[in-house]
Amino acid sequence: MGDTEEVKLLGVWFSPYAIRPKIALRLKSVDYDYFEEDLFGSKSELLLKSNPVHKKVPVLIHNNKPILESLNIVEYIDETWNASGPSILPSHPHDRAQARFWSAFVDDKWFPALKAAAITKSEEAKEKGMKEVEGGLLQLEEAFVSISKGKPFFGGEAIGFMDICLGSFVGILKAREKLKGEKLLDESKIPFLCKWANEFLSDDTVKNVVPEIDKVVEFLGELEVRAQSAVSKT
Amino acid sequence: MASDEVKVIGAWASPFVMRPRIALNLKSVPYEFLQETFGAKSELLLKSNPVHKKIPVLIHADKPVCESNIIVEYVDETWSASGPSMLPSTPYDRAIARFWAAYIDEKWFPSLKSILKAEGEEEKKAVLAQVEEGNALLEKAFNDCSKGKAFFNGEHIGYLDIAFGCFLAWLRVTELAGGHKLIDEVKTPSLSKWADRFCNDPAVKPVMPETATLAEFAKKIFAKPPA
């Protein structure tokens, strides 16, 4: 299109939500300027101006217009650069509804359950929470088998919407396994998803976009220390 | 080939159920409405939505679609040749519509619900302030999105009108119960006019519950003693 196309992405290296637009932009071979927000510091002027309602990353700024919410951004990228690269969302309305349904499940139920289980100090709540997370993975395994129909990704031959949504959390799952010995990606329970996770991480569009697992491990450890010292201050 | 039959599993009082019904009306798609009994979940519901076990569920040609806003997009895409588009035409405007729909479900409606549950003057005041802040944002969003036309979606009711408008009956019930106007000509003039247009639209009127009926129902369900 026009040579004045300006694409900026505001994100935070650790954030799974910020990984999503990065993958989508790579799938569409779109060049962009990346701005790293200070995770523990104050929010930049640009962020506060572009996302006054939620003040959160990621934010995509295309020709000075901000687009917010990671999955919205992915759909926007798919629609705007529709002539470039594979289609991120499936083409059939029912398949699109499925992709949106499962991504809502991941964002509204599954990941919040994992976050809550990770943070809670109550052993009982942790156990209950982790059961919910494991149950969710079993449901996602079933969904994957039914949707992928034998192909490597939810999106078929190429990475699609649902792959981006769930895939953005794979790094955290692998890091937690290293840090806590927590084996959520258990081949004996969810063999297809485990295979999918490795396919996802080794894909060209994902490889250089997701942070290295060891960096995430280090960061998760640091988060924990900060959380504990915050508690001991009160 | 499965029949092209359309069914909606829902309940008359649920604002979320109103969404697919309005969408189907806008596209002139006939459907069978399967009313769930309050307090019990039917076999069909549990089979069609095993993950969440919630209404609404749209069943089209025997395939279920769940989650109200997702159903609205599905209806728009499936019957795209029928009636005007429910989502705006540019990717940017579509992203804006989706953003505000998510805001309404994640922030605005929960704060509206807490007005009815709030105990004591302090809590009520705090929650009211939240809703009014949200309304101010939505008033601006309306002015930006509508660009002087009748609805968020322009000339015709669309995705965001449906996402927000479905709560108007509950909003009126909350106003009555709290004795406090939330959307009115002074605080939110554009939204106030939009609300009237929305509620009187032929695609909406048949599925929007009467405020009095809904108020009675609200009294019943909120009168239940805590479990």
Any idea where the domains of chain B sit in the sequence? 6-79, 91-222
Cβ–Cβ contacts within 10 Å for residue B114, how many? 16
| Local structure of B47: helix, strand or coil | helix
Which of A72, A75, A97 lies nearest to residue B65, judging by beta carbons?
A97
> Cβ distance A166 to A106 under 8 Å?
yes
Residue B226 clears pLDDT 70, i.e. is over it: no
Which residues in chain A have Cβ-Cβ distances shorter than 8 Å to B65? 94, 97, 101
Across chain B, what does the average pLDDT equal?
Answer: 93
Residue B1 clears pLDDT 60, i.e. is over it: no
Yes or no, beta carbons of A97 and B73 under 8 Å apart: yes
The per-residue pLDDT string of chain A (234 residues; one tens digit each, 9 = 90 and over) reads 445 689 999 999 999 999 999 999 999 999 999 999 987 888 999 999 999 989 999 999 999 999 999 999 999 999 999 999 999 999 999 999 999 999 999 999 999 999 999 888 899 999 999 999 999 999 999 999 999 999 999 999 999 999 999 999 999 999 999 998 889 999 999 999 999 999 999 999 999 899 999 999 999 888 888 877 766 554
CATH 1.10.10.10 fits B91-222, yes or no: no
Here the tokens at position A6 are: 């300006």
Which stretches does DSSP call E strand in A31-187?
33-36, 59-62, 65-68
Yes or no, beta carbons of A76 and B73 under 8 Å apart: no
- Report whether the peptide linkage leading into residue A58 is cis, meaning its omega lies within 30 degrees of zero: yes
Burial A172-199 (b: 16+ CB within 10 A, else e): bbbbbbebeebebbeeeebeebbebbee
Interface of A with B in 161-180 (CB under 8 A): none
Q: What is the pLDDT averaged over residues B17-41? A: 95
The reply to whether B67 touches chain A by the CB within 8 Å rule is yes
Express each pLDDT in B125-145 by its tens digit.
Answer: 899 999 999 999 999 999 999
Q: Specify the CATH number for B6-79; select among 3.30.70.380, 2.130.10.10, 3.20.19.10, 3.40.30.10.
A: 3.40.30.10
Query: How large a percentage of chain A has pLDDT more than 90?
Result: 83
